[in-house]
Amino acid sequence: MLKTEKLVKAYGEGELRLVVLKELDIEIQDGEFVAIIGASGAGKSTLLYQLSLLDDPTSGEVYFDGIRTANLTEMEKTELRLHKLGYVFQDYALLPELNAIENVALPILMHGCSRAEAFTMATSALERIGLADRKNNLPSQLSGGQQQRVSIARAIAHHPKILFADEPTANLDSGSARVVLDAFLDLHKEGQTIVMVTHEEEYAHSAHRVISLKDGTIMSDKTQSRHSAKT
């Protein structure tokens, strides 16, 4: 579904040029739960931005469902992100003026659904992650873990092909982090393709496949046998 060929991302020029990703070749198939792990500065988030079409590579290619993304206009990429991709950001990224259900319904409204349809789908997404009873709460009225779960609901409400998560547990205590990871595992069981960036090995091992990065290079790419994440 998602594929890179000799993906390079560099910043700056000449002597100041910094190559963050060094000719990466990655393939992600439907239904995989991939964790990208590495130390700070390894290029994890940079890789995620390339895979999720938020950024353009310096060289190399990214293919989504066989489509060469370099050929896409900015508008087409926005459309692709809206319809096919979902995002969970590190710091929840909920709009403070919208309550939980409104935050989840917002991208659905962009699909052209009516308000009633959007809110029905949003309620369903919140129920999937167990927060339907908090749908009328503003983000300021939710805990960190609850906000992150609302963010997950927003990302999955429109049934994306791939769900990208950038350090989803970074700002959470271990208890809340566990809850979030359990949500991801439940989604994966339902067939959701997930690509998650994390620097926590413990959480990475909850995934089906772990790609380890160091200095912009893949050090290892292991598919592990699944065990229950709910220890």
Q: Shortest Cβ distance from residue 95 to other proteins (Å)?
A: 6
Residues 166-225 that bind other proteins (CB under 8 A): none
Residues 145-164 that bind other proteins (CB under 8 A): 154-155
Identity of the residue numbered 88 = V
Tell which one of 1, 98, 132, 229 touches other proteins (CB under 8 A).
98
Tell which one of 10, 72, 106, 170 touches other proteins (CB under 8 A).
106
Residues 43/218, Cβ–Cβ less than 8 Å = no
Residues 112/158, Cβ–Cβ less than 8 Å = no
Q: Shortest Cβ distance from residue 222 to other proteins (Å)?
A: 29
Q: How far apart are CA 56 and CA 173, in angstroms?
A: 33
Residues 151/92, Cβ–Cβ less than 8 Å = yes
Tell which one of 54, 72, 132, 170 touches other proteins (CB under 8 A).
54
Q: How far apart are CA 107 and CA 103, in angstroms?
A: 8
Q: According to the binding rule CB under 8 A, does residue 141 interact with other proteins?
A: no
Q: Is 163 helix (H, G, I), strand (E, B) or coil?
A: strand
Q: Shortest Cβ distance from residue 89 to other proteins (Å)?
A: 6
Distance of CA 76 to the CA centre of its chain: 19
**Both tokens of residue 84?**
């096919």
Q: Shortest Cβ distance from residue 136 to other proteins (Å)?
A: 13
Q: According to the binding rule CB under 8 A, does residue 10 interact with other proteins?
A: no
Q: According to the binding rule CB under 8 A, does residue 55 interact with other proteins?
A: yes
Q: Shortest Cβ distance from residue 81 to other proteins (Å)?
A: 5
